[in-house]
Amino acid sequence: MNNIQTLKGFRDILPQEKRARDFVAKSIAKSFSLRGFEPIETPTLEYAELLLGKYGQEADKLVYNFADRAGRQVGLRYDQTVPTARLLGQYYQQELPKFFRRYQIQNVFRADKPQRGRYREFTQCDCDIFGTVSPVADAEIVAAFYAAFADLGINSLVIEINDRQTLMSILKPFASDFVDVFSIIQSIDKLDKVSRGAVKNELVSKGLSSGDAEDCLCEIDNAVMSDQLSKIADICYDLGVPRSALKFNPKLARGLDYYTGLIFEGIIPEYSVGSVGGGGRYDQLIETLSGVAIPAVGFGIGFDRTVEATLQLGLIPEDVLQGSQVLVAVFSEELLAESLQLSNQFRQKNIKTEVYPEVDKLGKQFKLADQKKIRFVAVIGEDEARDNLITIKDLKTGDQKTLAFEEAVTLVKNSRK
């Protein structure tokens, strides 16, 4: 296996990136938990029958499916909505309560063409409320979306909102036997990415007259917030979402067919890679998928993009990104016990610490700290051992001090700020 690498479209996650991802995932999970959302997990493998035919013909080709050793057709998790629909069918109103709120952060698998930053295994982060059509649930969902970013320190998030019903009532008169309304929605959805002219041309190419295409775009420009959407926005404000964070965008369409009411999308202005997530209300989908009629509202967060944005904005503390903060060097075989005890003491003070595992030249030990980007090296030599002190060197500033243990702890802890 000397030259076996990772599969195309798959990746290893090395420590620094993994720490950033864990930090973001933990923060998001906490934001959701505080709002009453409960974590679940579904298996990586499901019956292929569950997965196929649920996402459209094109998507079916992207499902990883195969026959297991017993001949069952099985498939890898493709998204989190379909397995959750299965789970709701199995447990809703029994093990799971009415108005079930769940979040789910797991990997999904798509045999897609790999591109820069797009992998065949990636993390999805979904959050939904099931079992009510109340606008309070819509607003709780928008507020949870806002909080997930705000709690990471991203206070600039703009959430564009729209009502799929308003959009449908505007667009339906332009639909015909030749152009269905979802095809028009898919063109409208591009208005934020390509020029108005390009969208108009696309509508014409789909069969709208030039005049109808123009009228359609004008009507969208002039659309106003529906009563339902205003009500949802007001509840959001009461739930603590700042007014500046919500922005009505009549052009927001969201590509997927299944939305039935509120739709929304989040953008971080300082981070120019487009949407970091979005969602909306989908009152028929769970019934279509599971046979059990359960209205739903929820969203997905683009986990990779959110991690990248959080890193770019410098919102992950240095000491979270780094591994050990202190390397305890070993001065000599005779003083090994002192070094071991010191590392244990640092750990008890909640300081990430490792001990150099061999007796080696001090120069080599400092070099390891450098390679591992460990900021502090602590040494107990003969003098230090006699005086019950520690010599500690800050590799960032070059400062070296000989001091008592408690002072060393203070030094290291203060460096985190």
Q: Which of residues 346-365 bind a second copy (CB under 8 A)?
A: 347-348, 350-358
Pick the stretch among 135-143, 155-163, 220-228, 272-280 that binds a second copy (CB under 8 A). 135-143
For a second copy, the closer CB: 13 or 194: 13
The stretch among 16-24, 190-198, 216-224, 300-308 that binds a second copy (CB under 8 A) is 16-24
Q: Return d(Cα 249, Cα 76) in angstroms, integer.
A: 36
Site for a second copy in 144-163 (CB under 8 A): 147
For the CB of residue 17, give the shortest distance to a second copy in the complex, in Å: 9
Closest distance between a second copy and the C-beta of residue 413, in Å? 14
- Residue from 114, 134, 192, 228 touching a second copy (CB under 8 A): that is 134
* Minimum CB distance to a second copy smaller for 90 or for 155: 90
Looking at residues 70 to 89 of the shown chain, list those that interact with a second copy (rule: CB under 8 A): 72, 74, 76, 85-87, 89
66 contacts a second copy (rule: CB under 8 A): yes
Quick check: 399 binds a second copy (CB under 8 A)? no
Measured between alpha carbons, how far is 266 from 322 in angstroms, rounded to an integer?
Answer: 29
Contacts of 154 by beta carbon, 8 Å cutoff, 6+ apart? 268, 309, 310, 313, 315
Considering beta carbons, is residue 120 or 251 the nearer one to a second copy?
A: 120
Of residues 250 through 309, those in contact with a second copy by CB under 8 A are 289-291
Stretch of 65-73, 177-185, 186-194, 300-308 lying at the interface with a second copy (CB under 8 A): 65-73
Nearest to 47 by CA among 70, 16, 28, 25: 70
The correct pick among 57, 115, 371, 397 for binding a second copy (CB under 8 A) is 371
Q: Read off the tokens for 226.
A: 């529906």
Residue 200 beta carbon to a second copy: minimum distance, rounded to whole angstroms: 37
Which region, judged by CB under 8 A, interacts with a second copy, from 211-219, 308-316, 330-338, 398-406?
A: 330-338
Structure tokens at 113: 């063409």
Asked if 321 interacts with a second copy (CB under 8 A), we say no
Of 223, 215, 412, 195, the closest CA to residue 318 belongs to 412
Strand bridging mode 400-403 / 353-355: unpaired
Strands of the 65-67 sheet, one edge to the other: 45-47, 73-76, 65-67
- Across 184-217, b (16+ Cβ under 10 Å) vs e yields bbbbbbbbbeeeeeebbebbeeebbeeebbeebb
Query: Between 38 and 387, whose beta carbon lies closer to a second copy?
Result: 38
Q: Is 385 exposed, middle or buried (0-12, 13-18, 19+ CB in 10 A)?
A: middle
- In the chain, what is the straight-line distance between the N-terminal and C-terminal CA atoms, in Å? 45
The residue type at 54: K
Q: Closest distance between a second copy and the C-beta of residue 60, in Å?
A: 11
The correct pick among 171, 235, 252, 276 for binding a second copy (CB under 8 A) is: 235
State which residue, 210 or 341, has the beta carbon closest to a second copy.
341
Cα-Cα-Cα-Cα torsion 213, 219, 225, 229, nearest 10 degrees, comes to: -30
